[in-house]
Structure 1
């Protein structure tokens, strides 16, 4: 397993482009600014590409793959065509299901449950309706925070609204699947909640 998943702070920068159908992100190490992971949708079908430019974008399937710059798989995030709050499946580097998440109905700001491989809720992602601010909570304990505000070493990377920071709690053990599930959830917040 790649050790980059065991860091607690990630800077995420979305690739911006005109007529861009796929979701593509680079994930940076804040200490160096180097790309440590890449998030891509390499298998986007023609019909899905077309639908991404319509009002049906939120219903389109996705297959997001997070890999190291050298191509080593870390996590894969998949959802089929969605008419209404479809479950998202998360797989590890060996393509084994490690969990997923399912949006909750009628929330302000967005909310979904993060599930383990047996569909047990292990934490909840909740957003604010006023902006890009999401927290992963397990009861009263905050496990991770996603925000567009950053004042650290990577500030120069934050030149547009398509960049944000993910901060994981040091309480999440190294190698724990929860790290992968949280990273996976962050990579498709746009597709599940924000589009």
Structure 2
């Protein structure tokens, strides 16, 4: 696992563009404002690009690669066409499967169940339908949260609806693969739940 994921705070900032089919994000250290990772979407086919400009955008497949500043891969996320729900696979820097997310049907605000590579549920991502607050829960304990608000230096960077902060609790061990899954799930919030 790349050591950059041992941080506890991340600012995810969508890169804006006119007529942009691919999703791409800068991931910053919110305390310093330094870009520490980039997320880009690769291998977009012609029809996927066309559907990205329609109301079916949230159903299109994606292949997202997250890289550190040194160009080394951190994680990858892949999903096929999503008709009723999204099932997303997460891969490590060597393209080994490390886990999956399964979107829950009929959840208010959005919900993912997050599984490790053996298919064991490791945590749940739950959102509120009233806003942009998401919590990662494990054994009834909050282990991370995603929101639009933060009281640190990065607060002035919140200029659009697609910028948000991930805070991982100190109780999550460093170098634990659950950090990779939590970080990957944050990118899925925007591409799966908020693009509808």
Q: Distance in 1 between matches of 2:35 and 2:152?
A: 16
Unaligned runs of 5+ in 2: none
Match of 1:56 in 2: 56
Match of 1:187 in 2: 187
Q: Distance in 1 between matches of 2:109 and 2:169?
A: 22
TM superposition shift of 1:116: 0.5
Match of 1:140 in 2: 140
Describe the SS at the equivalent of 2:30: coil
Q: Distance in 2 between matches of 1:42 and 1:112?
A: 24
Q: Distance in 1 between matches of 2:113 and 2:69?
A: 30
Match of 1:22 in 2: 22
- What TM-score does the superposition give when structure 2 sets the normalisation length? 0.96
Match of 1:72 in 2: 72
Q: Distance in 2 between matches of 1:131 and 1:152?
A: 20
User: How far does the alpha carbon of each residue in 1:21-69 deviate from its partner, in whole angstroms, 9 at most, with x for none?
Assistant: 1111101012221100101102222211111111221211000111112
List structure 1 runs of 4+ shifted beyond 2 angstroms.
none
Cα RMSD after superposing both structures: 1.1
Match of 1:155 in 2: 155
Number of residue pairs the alignment of both structures matches: 195
Q: Distance in 2 between matches of 1:86 and 1:15?
A: 23
Q: Residue 31 of structure 2 contacts residue 152 of structure 2 at CA under 8 Å; is this kept in 1?
A: no
